[in-house]
Structure 1
Amino acid sequence: MPQADRLIKIQNRLNAGQLLRRQALLDELEVSFATLKRDMAYVRDVLRVPVRFDSERNGWHLDSSAIADGTHALDLKLREDEIRALLVMQHLLSRLEPGGVLAAQIGPLQRNLERLLDKGLRAPADVARRIRVLALGARRLELPHFRAAAQAVLRRRRMRIVYRARSHGRVEEREVSPQRLVHYRENWHLDAWCHRSNGLRIFSLDAIEHAQVLDDAAIEMPDADLDDQLAKGYGIFAGSQVQMARLRFTPERARWVSAERWHPDQRGRFDPQGCWVLELPFSDMRELVMDILRHVPEVEVMWPEELADEVRRRLEEGLRRMRGAG
C-alpha cells in the first residue's frame, strides 16, 4: 500500500476517535514495524496530528488535551492557490454565518493555512479587503451547544437535551439519536430520532438550553428514510401529508423567480403571457406563506384554495393593523 494511502487511512481512523492497536495496524497496512513507526512519526511531526502511543493498550490514539484546546489542525500538502482558495472560503463562511459557531473549529485550520503560505500574513487581510459579503438582516445567534451536537452527529452518540419548544413554550428534557445537522436560513437545526416520542423530529439549536453527549450509540436512520420524512415538505417544516402548490408570478418578477430554487422537487415553466408558473410540494404552509408574501403583489396563488385563503387572511390582517396604527 502506498504511503499516501496509509497516511490517509491512519488519519481517518484517528479522527474517528479509534485506538489503533499496533498488531492490527501492521496486519492491515502490511508493513514492517519500522515502516509503521516512520508513518506515525510523519503523522505526528509533519502533519501535526497530536497522536500518542498508549503502552498499556498497545496502540495509538489522539491526544484529547490537544483536541480540547483547539491546537489539533491538519497540515495538508496544498498548492498556494488552493490554500488561498480555502482562506477565501473561511472568510466567506465567517461573514455568512453571523452566529460564529464554527469560528473556534475553523481558527486552527486558518492558522495552519497561513503558516503553509510561508509567512503569508497578508493573505487574510487581503481577502477581507478585496471580498465583501453583506449579510444584512441576518440573525446573530448564540449556539453554545453546536459543538456537542456536531460531536454527537459525527461520532454517532446519543444526546440528552433540554429543549424549549417554540410551538408551546414549554421546557422539556429529551433523549435523542442525532442524525444530521442542517444549516437553513441563518440557523442550525438537528434532525434526530426522539426516543420519548418515538419518531423523527427537527430541533432548532438556538432553542436547546442544555446538551449532553452520552456514551450510548445512536440509532442509525437510512438517508432515504430521513429524506422521505423530513425533506418532502416545504422549508424546515416536515410532515407526511404533502400536497402541491401552484404559484404564478408576473413577467417582471419572473426574471428573478425563475432562477430561484424554492424546493428540490419544484417544477417551473413560462406560460404564453410570460408569467412564471411554479409548482412545489409542501406539508405545512406557514413558511411558504411568508415567502409568497415577499412577492406581493406580483404573485398569484392558483391552488390550493386554502393556501390562497391564508395569504389573503394575512394581507387583510396587515391592512387592518396599518389602518389601526394610522
Structure 2
Amino acid sequence: MRRHFLIAGALACTAVLSPLAAWAQAAYPSKPVRIVVPNAPGGAADLTARTVGEKMAKGLGQPVVIDNRPGAGGVVAGQAVASAPADGYSLLLISSGTAVSEALFKSLPFDSRKDFIPVAPLATFDLVIVSSPTGEFKTLAELITWAKANPGKLNIGTPAIGTTQHLAAELFKTAAGIDAQVVPFKGTPDVITAIRGGQIQVGLDILSPLLSQIQGKALHPLAVTGTKRSRVLPDVPTAQEAGVKNLNAASWNGLAVPAKTPKAVVDRLSKEINVALRDPDVRKKLEALNLDPHPGTPAEAAAMLNGDIQRWTEVISRAKIERQ
C-alpha cells in the first residue's frame, strides 16, 4: 500500500508540475533577451543583430539587448553564451567564422555543435575574386589558364590567415586545379593596396567592403564564389558558371542558443526571427549593408554550421595549415 501511495503521489506531482512547466514556457519571454555579438559595434554583424533584434522585440514583447563581446576569434562571446542558462534569454550570433574557429583551433572552451542549438539563419553575403582593371585577367577563365601555364606564380591576396576568405582562397586553388600562393594580409585595405600596386594579381574577399572600389572601376570583379549571382553585381558570373565546379564559399550569419534550451522556446525565437527577416523595412536595411536576408529553420541553420565545419576542416588539412 505504501508503494501505491508513493506512485499516486508522484503522479499527482507530475499533474501539478506539467501545467506549471507549460505556463512557464507560455510566459516566455518575461524579461529582456540579449544577443551576444562576437564583433565590435558598427560592423555588419552588429548592425544585422540590431536590425533584426529591434523587430524581434516587437514580436516578443520584451526588449532585445545587443551585448558586444569581441575578441579571440569569437571565443569570448561563445563562452559567455555556452555558460549561460538554457532558458532562451541569451542568444549568440554565429557565422561562417564560428565554423572556421571550430575547424582551426585545437581546443575551444565549447563545442559549437554540442553546446549550441542553431535557431535560424539571418543573412548571407558574397565573397568575390577581384583583379586590377589594368591587369591581364578580364575573366576567371583567363586567370586559371595563366595560373596553369605558370605554376606557383599567381598570388591571391586575402585578409588574415584563418579567416573565411583565406580558407576560401585555398578551396578555390583546389577546385580550379591550380598551383598558386595565398598571401594573407592584415586586412581588406592592405589587399586592395597590394592589387592596385601590382604586388599581387588578384584578391578574394567579402564583397561588401570592396563594392565601392568595384563600382568606381578601381577593382575588376572576376567571379563571386557562391552558388548564385550577387544581387548587387548581377553581371558578374559565379565561379561555377565560369567553370570552377565544387566551389561554394559564401559567408553567412545566424543566431543560436545554449544546448538544452526547450524546444518551445527555440521555436518561438525562430518564428520571431523569420517574421523580422520577412519584414520589408528589415530587408531594406540589411540589403543596404549588401547582405541578403535568409529566413530559415533551426535545421537549416544547423546544416549551414555543420557543413562549413566539415568543409573548412578538410581545407585546413589539405592546405596543411597548422591548427592553433
TM-score, normalised to structure 2, is: 0.24
More strand by share: 1
Point out which structure has higher relative CO (alpha carbons under 8 A, 6+ apart): 2
Larger Rg: 1
